[in-house]
Chain A
Amino acid sequence: MTMIGLEIHCQLTNLNSKLFCSCKANYRGCEINENICPVCMGLPGSLPRLNQEAVKKATMIAMALNCSTPQRIAFFRKNYFYPDSPKNFQITQLNIYGDTSVGGAGSITVGDKKIRITRIQLEEDPGRLIYEGSSSKNLITLVDYNRAGTPLVEIVTEPDFETPKELRIFLNILSDILANLAVTDPTLEGAMKADANVSIEGGNKVEIKNIGSFHDLEKAVHYEITRQSSLQSRRREIIQETRHWDEKRKITVSARSKEEDLDYRYFLEGDIPWVRIESDIQTELQTKMPESISSKKERYTKYGITSQVADVLSSDKYYSDLFERSHTESNAKEIANIITTDLMGLADTKERRLASKLGAGHLRDLADSVLSGAISRNSAKDALYDMVKTGRELGDVIVSLNLGNILDKPKLTEIILQVLSEESQAVEQAKSNPETVHYLVGKVMKKTGGKADPQLTLEILEAKLA
């Protein structure tokens, strides 16, 4: 049986400051080595100053992933030399003196499967290495420390996955949960990364690191399973090792540096006293927890929204926030449909969402107008497009684009009589078989450019044919 486990790193990008200093947690957009200070640069004499908000956010993640949360957490030093690490040790968490990581055992349900979480730890991100020059002779390494000290939550799973596809589904669910908690923005480049460990039946465990995106993760794991199976079929040993994902060649390469042999000499970080998370704080965090995706979904289906639509709506924070702010008991289903069928194509990327001028009021007006028959579903699409672009009021959009439905009975009757005279054959057919009346409704729609109120049209037609 193939066993795959993950170590997911998630930056807490929504925090104001780094884990141990007041530099920005979201360094994106800063000039190189601008977002640094004596603390995150590890200058002589500087000391870490724990960001209490980061502890709370990490605890909330643990709670959302059904993990145990200890009353006391501790930080440890992981000692190793690397140029992206300004102190040449990383402040992280460990469970050697009992459960002192921010989160203990937990689980996430993926379809009908339970993926077990081993632990969750809070730690600092290192800086970023930039390689310049090509041949090994001229190769230089530059370091940008803007990222050094960014709060990072590491989520370690048990090896409960069997296929690369399961990883993708799991990671989508996980990013939705984290976005829903408003602790991170998973769409930011580098905000979420994962390492994987892969083993096949009868073989040793291989760790794959250096995977840039979730998309590549699936590929890397797929490659690794194939590589290991091929070794096994040739009766060659699968060596326990760390391999790096080579993004360009799309293969995994042995890290050689024997990372598994490194002795990190973990010991307690004396500069950060043990942090007590009192039960009242845990309770407070529980009450502050945003509603979970599954509970949202359940609530949405009560409005008569289909399970599939409710699924899409609840798992995307942007859509569900819009829905929450715009819906009423009566228009909920309509709003859900507008969001999941029409808005999705217009606000599918982060850039488009930022540029969108659509507010909750727009959506509410639009749904109400569709339900009252003032505007057809077809026209509603055009109105939505306009409002996303311009932010104009729905009323103005209807007038300026001439989108309103024909609700005037005499005017509509006039058009219908015209259609009946043109379609004598169809009229005869409809008289004998009422089912075919829809052909005539279509004709009326065509003549009015879709603006005839369908209900009213049917009423008049049926009266005339009787």
Chain B
Amino acid sequence: MNLKISALEYVQGVKNGDISAEDFVAQTMDRIKSIDNNLCAFLSINADAVIQAREIDKKIKSGKKVGDCFGMPVSIKDNICIKDSKTTCASKMLENYISPYDATVIKRLRQQDAIFVGKTNMDEFAMGFTTEFSAYGPSKNPWNQDYVPGGSSGGSAVSVGAFECVASLGSDTGGSVRNPASFCSAVGYKPTYGLISRYGLVSYANSIEQIGPICRTVKDAAFMLNMISGVDSNDNTTIDSRGTDYLQDIECDIEGKKIGIVKEMTGEGTDPAVLSATKDAISKLEGLGAICEEVSVGMTKYSVAAYYTITATEAGSNLARYDNLRYGYDFPLEGYEYNSYIAKARRNFGPEVTRRIIIGGFVPSAGHAGRYFLKALKVKSKLTKEVNELFKRFDFLVSPTVPVLPFKLGEKIDDPVSLLAIDINTVTANLTAKPAVSVPFSNHNGLPIGIQLMADSLQDKSLLQAAYALEQTVSLPEVPI
């Protein structure tokens, strides 16, 4: 059985009777068992996946109505809650935490008969860009296992890239879906803020993050959006977009579309191989009839600083609840009073999370907020204004997803500041609530390069059309695994 097919091919195959859900899921689980010891894409596995797939086959045979996913094996980032399953956020703090409820996206996928094969590895609480900050060890890039897979949704991207599932859900706070998708040659989609419910996504920086699919093709990403997007009464920030079919007209061409090439995202610090791939992508887009022009987003130079200031502030608040009093890990209370207990219990946060909590306690504090947090909010609002102005003239903005090629495990972990610069191209979409996608575009000495397209708020459908058009121009090697 070919596990390398796309989500749409899987659905078609099961519909036609060419594929049995049970066989496909069983082989997927076998593959996870045989290769994931090395790749470390998963933190936990669903032991009932095959039985659940068998039930789908039975439903199909008996002519009952089956959901649109037809038993498709999907992996889920370990910061999205699945009822009665562990949700650890790759942290020791939540080592034994089992969620008593389903996230909205999980509920919706369940209704469509998706099967959750397991929870994927990530940087602890989604803070990082390599998965090296996972408390349970890093995931490996399937293209070269000495290399990082990107992050923080690294496990999700690896599981898609190494055919351990058909599609995956990650979360994107500053590029955490697009970055690993780019490093693992997958499609990573970050929707308009509010398009997908965050209910059940463990908050890191709640005002800017979104759940997003990581898939093999752009069409698969559109399919996943059809499954999970739309207003949710459990998340007051969701937008009513139900009824939008993201697959419909996806093959529509992009002739005459105006695309801005962001100068600040293709300049200094960009790897030459990445730069040449970007130039190549621009000429491909022009070849499709798009009109490309260089533009400037001046606030980009402050965007990363603003991003870290805002996310640290929100993280400090969002992660305050992990005091180990109501849930968490085994750590007896005896012999402590409240303050000494939580101080000790909270030492189980890893180094990067601890760093950001400390920063998050400082930048919004009385006497410092004006210089840091409030200034960051100002940058966010100015950046949004700038980008909104550009979208009056342009349909899309293009840049490399990540300015560098995937790097080796351990290469940058001791240099947190250089790691921060990696997300310079991705944070703008989060800070401005815009949709953005990373499309696999090129391969340099066996290392993938992704191209990012960004669109105006709620232009998700046309963004997917552009991504699809770009995707059709490339033919990439197969992953050597």
Do A and B belong to a common assembly? Answer: yes
Interface residues of A (CB under 8 A from B): 38, 41-50, 77, 79, 81, 83, 86-89, 141, 143, 263, 265, 267-268, 270-273
- Cβ contacts under 8 Å, B235 to chain A: 47, 49, 271
Number of interface residues of B (CB under 8 A): 43
Question: Given A47-B199, A265-B361, are A270 and B320 neighbors across the interface (CB < 8 Å)?
Answer: no
**Whole-angstrom distance between the alpha carbons of A179 and B455 in the complex?**
53
B residues 318-345 in Cβ contact with A at 8 Å: 320-321, 323, 325-327, 338-339, 342
**Given A47-B234, A141-B338, A273-B236, 11 additional A-B pairs, CB 8 A:** A42-B321, A43-B101, A44-B81, A45-B103, A49-B234, A79-B320, A81-B338, A81-B342, A83-B325, A88-B320, A271-B236
**Is A44's CB under 8 angstroms from B87's CB?**
yes
Say yes or no: is B200 at the interface (Cβ < 8 Å to chain A).
yes
**Whole-angstrom distance between the alpha carbons of A46 and B236 in the complex?**
12
Closest 4 CB pairs of A and B: A270-B207, A88-B320, A45-B200, A44-B202
Say yes or no: is B184 at the interface (Cβ < 8 Å to chain A).
no
Say yes or no: is B206 at the interface (Cβ < 8 Å to chain A).
yes
Say yes or no: is B151 at the interface (Cβ < 8 Å to chain A).
no
Of the residues A41, A47, A89, A143, contact of B320 by C-beta under 8 Å: A89
Say yes or no: is B298 at the interface (Cβ < 8 Å to chain A).
no
Interface of B is mostly: loop
Name, among A46, A48, A77, the residue most crowded by chain B CB atoms within 10 Å (CB to CB): A46
Of the residues B198, B321, B365, contact of A88 by C-beta under 8 Å: B321
- Cβ contacts under 8 Å, B195 to chain A: none
**Whole-angstrom distance between the alpha carbons of A406 and B342 in the complex?**
81
Name, among A38, A265, A268, A273, the residue most crowded by chain B CB atoms within 10 Å (CB to CB): A265
Name, among B80, B103, B321, B366, the residue most crowded by chain A CB atoms within 10 Å (CB to CB): B321
**Whole-angstrom distance between the alpha carbons of A267 and B207 in the complex?**
11
Report the minimum CB–CB distance from A252 to chain B (whole Å).
Answer: 23
Say yes or no: is B233 at the interface (Cβ < 8 Å to chain A).
yes
**Is A81's CB under 8 angstroms from B323's CB?**
yes
- Chain A residue nearest to B313 in the complex (CB): A267
**Is B236's CB under 8 angstroms from A44's CB?**
no
- Cβ contacts under 8 Å, B199 to chain A: 45-47
Question: 16 A-B contacts, Cβ less than 8 Å apart?
Answer: A38-B101, A41-B326, A44-B87, A45-B80, A45-B99, A45-B103, A46-B200, A49-B233, A49-B236, A87-B320, A88-B320, A265-B317, A265-B361, A265-B369, A270-B207, A271-B235
Question: Given A38-B100, A263-B365, A272-B236, are A45 and B87 neighbors across the interface (CB < 8 Å)?
Answer: yes
- Chain A residue nearest to B360 in the complex (CB): A265
**Is B321's CB under 8 angstroms from A87's CB?**
yes
- Cβ contacts under 8 Å, A270 to chain B: 206-207, 237, 314
**Whole-angstrom distance between the alpha carbons of A87 and B320 in the complex?**
7
- Cβ contacts under 8 Å, B94 to chain A: 44
Question: Given A47-B199, A49-B234, are A79 and B327 neighbors across the interface (CB < 8 Å)?
Answer: no
Interface of A is mostly: loop
Question: Given A79-B320, A87-B320, A263-B366, are A45 and B233 neighbors across the interface (CB < 8 Å)?
Answer: no
**Whole-angstrom distance between the alpha carbons of A83 and B345 in the complex?**
14
- Cβ contacts under 8 Å, B206 to chain A: 47, 270-271
Say yes or no: is B432 at the interface (Cβ < 8 Å to chain A).
no
- Cβ contacts under 8 Å, B364 to chain A: 265, 267
- Cβ contacts under 8 Å, A81 to chain B: 320, 323, 338-339, 342
Question: Given A48-B236, A49-B236, A81-B342, are A86 and B317 neighbors across the interface (CB < 8 Å)?
Answer: no
**Is A43's CB under 8 angstroms from B365's CB?**
no
Interface residues of B (CB under 8 A from A): 79-81, 87, 89, 94, 97, 99-101, 103, 198-203, 206-207, 233-237, 313-314, 316-317, 320-321, 323, 325-327, 338-339, 342, 361, 364-366, 369, 373
Of the residues A79, A86, A143, A271, contact of B237 by C-beta under 8 Å: A271
- Cβ contacts under 8 Å, B80 to chain A: 45
**Is B317's CB under 8 angstroms from A43's CB?**
no
- Chain A residue nearest to B235 in the complex (CB): A47
- Chain B residue nearest to A264 in the complex (CB): B366
**Whole-angstrom distance between the alpha carbons of A89 and B81 in the complex?**
22
**Whole-angstrom distance between the alpha carbons of A440 and B154 in the complex?**
104
**Is B316's CB under 8 angstroms from A265's CB?**
yes
- Chain A residue nearest to B363 in the complex (CB): A265
**Whole-angstrom distance between the alpha carbons of A46 and B99 in the complex?**
10
**Whole-angstrom distance between the alpha carbons of A336 and B313 in the complex?**
60
**Whole-angstrom distance between the alpha carbons of A44 and B91 in the complex?**
13
**Whole-angstrom distance between the alpha carbons of A265 and B374 in the complex?**
12
Report the minimum CB–CB distance from A429 to chain B (whole Å).
Answer: 85
Report the minimum CB–CB distance from A120 to chain B (whole Å).
Answer: 22
**Is A86's CB under 8 angstroms from B365's CB?**
no
Report the minimum CB–CB distance from A362 to chain B (whole Å).
Answer: 46
**Whole-angstrom distance between the alpha carbons of A102 and B338 in the complex?**
34
Name, among A38, A44, A48, A86, the residue most crowded by chain B CB atoms within 10 Å (CB to CB): A44
**Whole-angstrom distance between the alpha carbons of A228 and B317 in the complex?**
38
**Whole-angstrom distance between the alpha carbons of A143 and B338 in the complex?**
12
- Cβ contacts under 8 Å, B365 to chain A: 263, 265
**Whole-angstrom distance between the alpha carbons of A270 and B233 in the complex?**
16
**Is B317's CB under 8 angstroms from A79's CB?**
yes
- Chain A residue nearest to B207 in the complex (CB): A270
Question: Given A83-B338, A89-B317, A265-B316, are A44 and B97 neighbors across the interface (CB < 8 Å)?
Answer: yes
- Cβ contacts under 8 Å, A88 to chain B: 320-321, 323
- Cβ contacts under 8 Å, A38 to chain B: 100-101
- Chain B residue nearest to A20 in the complex (CB): B236
**Whole-angstrom distance between the alpha carbons of A48 and B200 in the complex?**
11
- Cβ contacts under 8 Å, A268 to chain B: 207
**Whole-angstrom distance between the alpha carbons of A466 and B231 in the complex?**
91
**Whole-angstrom distance between the alpha carbons of A50 and B342 in the complex?**
29
Report the minimum CB–CB distance from B334 to chain A (whole Å).
Answer: 10
- Chain B residue nearest to A139 in the complex (CB): B337
- Cβ contacts under 8 Å, B339 to chain A: 81
**Whole-angstrom distance between the alpha carbons of A86 and B320 in the complex?**
9
- Cβ contacts under 8 Å, A49 to chain B: 233-236
**Whole-angstrom distance between the alpha carbons of A144 and B339 in the complex?**
19
- Cβ contacts under 8 Å, A83 to chain B: 323, 325, 338
- Cβ contacts under 8 Å, A47 to chain B: 198-199, 203, 206, 234-236
Report the minimum CB–CB distance from A82 to chain B (whole Å).
Answer: 8
- Cβ contacts under 8 Å, B79 to chain A: 45
**Whole-angstrom distance between the alpha carbons of A239 and B374 in the complex?**
33
**Whole-angstrom distance between the alpha carbons of A265 and B199 in the complex?**
25
Of the residues B99, B234, B316, contact of A44 by C-beta under 8 Å: B99
Report the minimum CB–CB distance from A94 to chain B (whole Å).
Answer: 13
- Cβ contacts under 8 Å, B321 to chain A: 42, 44, 86-88
**Whole-angstrom distance between the alpha carbons of A5 and B323 in the complex?**
35
- Cβ contacts under 8 Å, A48 to chain B: 236
- Cβ contacts under 8 Å, A273 to chain B: 236-237
**Is B317's CB under 8 angstroms from A77's CB?**
yes
Report the minimum CB–CB distance from B311 to chain A (whole Å).
Answer: 11
Name, among A79, A89, A270, the residue most crowded by chain B CB atoms within 10 Å (CB to CB): A270
**Is B313's CB under 8 angstroms from A265's CB?**
yes
**Whole-angstrom distance between the alpha carbons of A406 and B218 in the complex?**
97
**Whole-angstrom distance between the alpha carbons of A265 and B314 in the complex?**
10
Report the minimum CB–CB distance from A44 to chain B (whole Å).
Answer: 4
- Cβ contacts under 8 Å, B103 to chain A: 45
Report the minimum CB–CB distance from B204 to chain A (whole Å).
Answer: 11
Report the minimum CB–CB distance from B52 to chain A (whole Å).
Answer: 22
**Whole-angstrom distance between the alpha carbons of A270 and B210 in the complex?**
13
- Chain A residue nearest to B102 in the complex (CB): A45
Report the minimum CB–CB distance from B167 to chain A (whole Å).
Answer: 21
**Is B81's CB under 8 angstroms from A45's CB?**
yes
- Chain B residue nearest to A41 in the complex (CB): B326
